[in-house]
Structure 1
Amino acid sequence: MPTAAAATAAGMATGPGSRVTRYAKSTAASVTPVRPGKTHALSALDNAMEWHAVHLVLYCRAAPGVGRDALKESLSEALSLYPAMTGRLVRAAQGEEGGAAGGWIVKCNDAGVRTVDATAAVTLDEWLATASADEEMDLAYFEQMGAEPYIWSPFYVQLTEFTDKSYALGLSCTHVHNDPTAASLFFHGWAAAHRRATSPYPPFLHSPSFAVSPTTPPSPPPLLAAKSTAAPAPPNSDAAMSSATFHFPAAAMRALLSSLEPGATPFAALAALFWLRVAGHDAAESRQKELTLALDFRKKMRAPLPTGYYGSAVHFTRARADLSSPLAAVAAALDACVAGVPEEELWAALEWLHARQASAPGGGGGGEPFQMYGPELTCVALDHVPMYGTEFVAGEPPARVACRVGGAEGEGVVIVMPAAEGGEARDVVVTLPADAAARVCRDGELLRYGARVVAGSKVETGPKAQ
């Protein structure tokens, strides 16, 4: 059961004028203790995600049985299935089972997940109609790892109550533990525990699925090699970033897809559209340009991973297209790239990351971390994730789900997600340099295609770093 512990306002404060008040911090522990000495291995891909965090916000309308105490109780029930979530990150010792010396592993010590209690001074509908994407991050508290990682919680859960008794459930975690797919599916486990049911996506905690040991030094994949040698971003550079969320109703998506080649996917259509609009005037003069795609590969392998695989299963690949071509041609190029990623490319990336971690100076340390999302423009495919199947009350899906990836400064990130109405409808979350975010929010071509800004950029008052 959660243990209450009042938290000081300092460190939990939101920005000036925020409608969210965080007032207490506590710890949620699993109802089932973990056996002493248990550890959870992290793959080389997990370790490579150290620069990044995952932020999810799920909005639940007011309903009987959905209250703060009941939600905390079911959270503790759900954590019984996720012993790694309640553990702490430590560096693996030489010869220790579970990872290369110096790389991160999880000590499953039942230290618990940090929870934050908060209120919002509006109703849920008022919030959804007026909140910016930057303000939305006031609903997903997170603390960066400090000098003592062993006492740092890799997971934070914020429960924010609106004035109409609706709730926003914010989950923030280090990408070392989970990618956006795995983090989203945790909500399924939590909701199932709340309903006293079984999750359709039980966690699969077996990172040795990616424990590769190449017999010869692998060749560096060009994209990852370029990322690993790129100059680090300046401190606090993401303060110059801002976000916005665009909603494409089903009718708008059908109209967009009908203007493309038969068989075009919603992801390729939206990735192409935003690539062209972010490129702006440069696109008219461009020839072959490159876009980084971040693709979930759980089901892209000959021996597919369970959907509930706990960890990072994101593959970064380059797509090329002539941006002076029509939208249909750019979308077709992206679809061809997604469909044509060979499994050998996935394993080549994993082998190189594993070899890089194992051969780090001093026999460990995992090599210097580097930026995986960016610094070039990156488009993330999340529209396969069943986010709206998360029902804390049977038959009551979330009113909306928001997602951000932290540490993605540079040219920006575009995330394609499912939308609340289901079907072909999609939401697109962009995190871009402030001037680019302001420009795409006013882009007439996006609006012509039926986009509606549901959580806009407030760059006029200064974006907030997240």
Structure 2
Amino acid sequence: MPESKSRVTVHSTLTVVSDKPVKPGKSYPLSVLDHAMGFHTLHIVFYYRYNRLESGDSSDLGRLRESLSEVLSYYPPVTGRLLKDDNGNWEVKYNDAGVRTLKAKVDCSLDEWLKSANGNEERDLTVWEDMPEETKVWSPYRIQMNDFEGGGLAIGLSCPHMQADPTCATTLMKSWTEMYRRIAISHPPFFHPPSLRGRTNPNTNTISVQNYEAKSRMETPTNVKMSTVTFRFSDTIIKKCLLEIQSKCPNATPFDMLAALFWSSVTNAKSPSSKQVSLSIGMDFRKRMHAPLPHGYFGNALHFSSVSTDQSKMEEGGLDYMTQIIHDHLSSIVEEEYWSIIDWLESKKQEGGKHPPPFQMYGPELTCANLEHVSAFAAVLDDKKPVHVSYHIGNVEGEGLILVLPSPEEGFGRTVMVTLPEDQTDKLCKDPAILRLEPTMLISGRL
């Protein structure tokens, strides 16, 4: 069956450089945690009810281009180029090469797209490009401006994951929109990769190290067709659900409950293969440390841990039980676990100080990442908040990925994006436990 024609047409490309030139010869080394994420890419799409032409943005992007040039002056690693140092490790050479920016037209309205597009189609709104062998002239950050018929704009931001995690990339976008609105940048970038490096007295004897060791040896299934569906849950329904389980899980968070719900539902959608079921949980640790990293910390600050239970207990205990074990697991993680992973990665350096090769972090086991803290809906253009924000991680293979994200509705409203083998997403969309929460389906191809 032939593939349908894309509704997104890229019609021009330009390069946006920073307002202020950088001093020649400077470079920015990537941290050990940055190198560990080298297997993945990051792609974010911000949707706005914003008409560029009505807002005075001419064919060369007008105010959007001007404010991007201004904000890039604060982010020299974004405009630089990736090169390897004498040890074979990645660093960003500061220069004025700029950020590649694409302009595209979408052959439908914004509302029609949100209702009818699917997760694979949404990829067309961002740039998906493998890093070339020769990186001297390659722009690692790509921005794609997508205009919808009748107004509406989607801004797609793409980069290698080793240069930014979701928190970092979202803060970059928020800083751009603040510059656009002529207000102060609320979380200026903080560039200091040595702040996360191995200690003088390393500790590699922790549960987290055992988890990463096992992850690094896992084989990833290939040639499995994956698809993505997006569910949006209201503040009212999340509060109601938390109230229902309050007697057994009094301190449960929206993430605890949604991770438990989707872990259970994905397990039910799969063919049973073992009595033990496991979930890898990814979380940002910037603010979970005794000396917290600044909001603007530029780089990767993600930690992955693993929780497991018997499938029989999952079925018997239901949502209450699953929520509680996730909550207890996350509450038990101490700062030493984060540092031990940095120590372990440092201990794996090869001769000459070269960082170890990356492996799949989001997987290959079922993974759920907590991104409910990202300030996606604070990226405001004029007075317009995004109507929707999507996050995609490149090279997600294996059992699948669950992303718990904020919602445009303030309070406990949440968006959940799920990427699974195609046959499982179909089952997930019909799961009574999920449908009981009355989700709105977005970017799922289901009208």
What is the distance in 2 between the residues matched to 1:407 and 1:284?
25
Answer yes or no: is 1:142 the counterpart of 2:132.
Answer: no
Match of 1:338 in 2: 330
1:243 counterpart SS class: strand
1:248 aligns with 233
The offset of 1:444, in angstroms, is: 2.4
What is residue 65 of structure 1 aligned with on the other side? 55
1:288–1:323 CA contact under 8 A, matched in 2:
no
Q: Distance in 2 between matches of 1:131 and 1:457?
A: 5
Matching residue of 1:114: 100
Q: 2:187 aligns with which of 195, 201, 209?
A: 201
Distance, in Å, in 1 between the alignment partners of 2:79 and 2:161 is 15
Cα distance in 1 between the residues matched to 2:71 and 2:183:
11
CA offsets per residue over residues 377-419 of structure 1, 9 Å max, x none? 000000011211111113x211111111111111011000011
User: 1: distance between equivalents of 2:297 and 2:230?
Assistant: 28
| Alpha-carbon shift at residue 369 of structure 1 (Å) | 1.8
Question: Of 152, 156, 162, which aligns to 1:170?
Answer: 156
Would you identify which runs of 4 or more consecutive aligned residues in structure 1 move more than 3 Å? 213-220, 281-288
Question: 8 Å contact 2:202–2:340 — kept in the other structure?
Answer: no
Over 3 Å counting, the alpha-carbon distance change for 1:144 and 1:41 in structure 2 is: same
Aligned length: 430
Checking the alignment, whether the CA contact within 8 Å between 1:437 and 1:457 is kept in structure 2 is: no
Structure 1 counterpart of 2:79: 86
Would the aligned equivalents of 2:117 and 2:445 in 1 still touch at CA under 8 Å? no
CA contact (8 A) 1:38 1:108 kept: yes
Cα deviations across residues 296-315 of structure 1 (Å, max 9, x unaligned)?
00001000000111100000
Instruction: Determine the C-alpha separation between the residues in 1 that align with 2:302 and 2:129.
Output: 23
Corresponding residue SS for 2:6:
coil
Find the counterpart in structure 1 of residue 318 from structure 2: 326
Q: Identify which of 384, 394, 402 aligns with 1:406.
A: 394
Aligned to 1:9: none
Give the drift of 1:445. Answer: 2.2
Deviation at 1:232, TM superposition (A): 5.0
TM-superposed CA distance for 1:335, in Å, is: 1.0
Aligned with 2:136: secondary structure?
helix
Q: 1:451 to 1:66 in 2, by over 3 A?
A: farther
Question: Any conservation in 2 of the 1:47–1:176 contact (CA below 8 Å)?
Answer: yes
**Counterparts of 1:201-280 in structure 2 under 5 Å?**
201-215=187-201, 218-219=204-205, 221-231=209-219, 233-234=221-222, 237=223, 240-260=225-245, 261-280=249-268
Q: For residue 70 of structure 1, report the CA deviation from its aligned partner.
A: 2.0
Q: Which has the higher contact order (CA 8 A, sep 6+)?
A: 2
Please say if residues 404 and 415 of structure 2, whose CA atoms lie closer than 8 Å, have aligned partners that are also in contact: yes
Displacement of 1:144 in angstroms is 1.0
Counterpart-to-counterpart distance in 2, 1:26 and 1:134: 25
**Structure 1 residues 373 and 281: CA distance shift in structure 2, 3 A:** closer
Instruction: Write the distance in 1 (CA, Å) between the matches of 2:361 and 2:374.
Output: 21
Q: Which residue of 2 aligns with 1:348?
A: 340
The alignment partner of 2:372 has SS state of coil
- Cα displacement (A) at 1:157: 0.3
Instruction: Give the match's secondary structure for 2:25.
Output: coil
Kindly indicate whether the alpha-carbon contact (under 8 Å) linking 1:291 and 1:319 is maintained by their aligned counterparts in 2. Answer: yes
1:195, CA displacement in angstroms? 0.9
Q: Secondary structure at the match of 1:307?
A: coil
Shift of 1:365: 3.9
Task: Write the distance in 1 (CA, Å) between the matches of 2:110 and 2:172.
Answer: 23
**Aligned partner of 2:129: which letter?**
E
Q: What residue ranges of structure 1 are gaps of 5+ in the alignment?
A: 1-14, 94-100, 459-466
| In 1: Cα distance, 2:177 partner to 2:81 partner | 24
* Aligned residues of 1:441 and 1:457 also touching (Cα < 8 A): no
Tell whether the 8 Å contact from 2:47 to 2:389 is kept in structure 1 after alignment.
yes
The structural deviation recorded for 1:112 is: 1.3
Q: Which amino acid aligns with 1:146?
A: P
Is the CA contact 1:217–1:355 (under 8 Å) kept in the aligned structure 2? no
Q: Is the 8 A contact 1:287 1:323 kept in 2?
A: no
Taking only aligned residues, the RMSD between alpha carbons, in angstroms, comes to 2.0
| Structure 2 unmatched ranges of 5 or more | none
Specify the SS of the correspondent of 1:363: coil
Aligned match of 1:385: 374
What amino acid does structure 1 have at the position aligned with 2:342?
Answer: L
Determine helix, strand or coil for the equivalent of 1:320: strand
* Separation in 2, partners of 1:243, 1:412: 10
After TM superposition, the score normalised by the length of structure 1 is 0.88
- Measured against aligned partners, the alpha-carbon deviations of 1:51-105 in whole angstroms (never above 9, x if no partner) come to 1011100011125536332212211111111100011111121xxxxxxx22111
Q: Which whole-Å CA distance do the structure 2 matches of 1:167 and 1:426 have between them?
A: 22
- Residue type at the aligned position of 1:372: M
Structure 1, 47-56 or 107-116: larger mean CA deviation:
107-116
Deviations 1:209-252 (A, max 9, x none): 11224445734711111121223554xx4x61110101111122
Q: Report the AA paired with residue 366 of structure 1.
A: H
SS in 1 for 2:77: coil
Does residue 430 (structure 1) correspond to residue 425 (structure 2)? The answer is no
Give the 3 Å change call, closer, same or farther, for CA 355–348 of structure 1 in structure 2: same
**TM-score when normalising by structure 2:** 0.92
Shift of 1:23: 1.3
SS in structure 2 at match of 1:275: helix
Choose from 133, 137, 147 the match for 2:119.
133
On the 8 A contact 2:261/2:433 being kept in 1, the answer is no
Conserved 8 A contact 1:283-1:323: no
For the residues of structure 2 that align with 1:442 and 1:161, how far apart are their CA atoms? 33
CA distance in 2, matches of 1:332, 1:283: 25
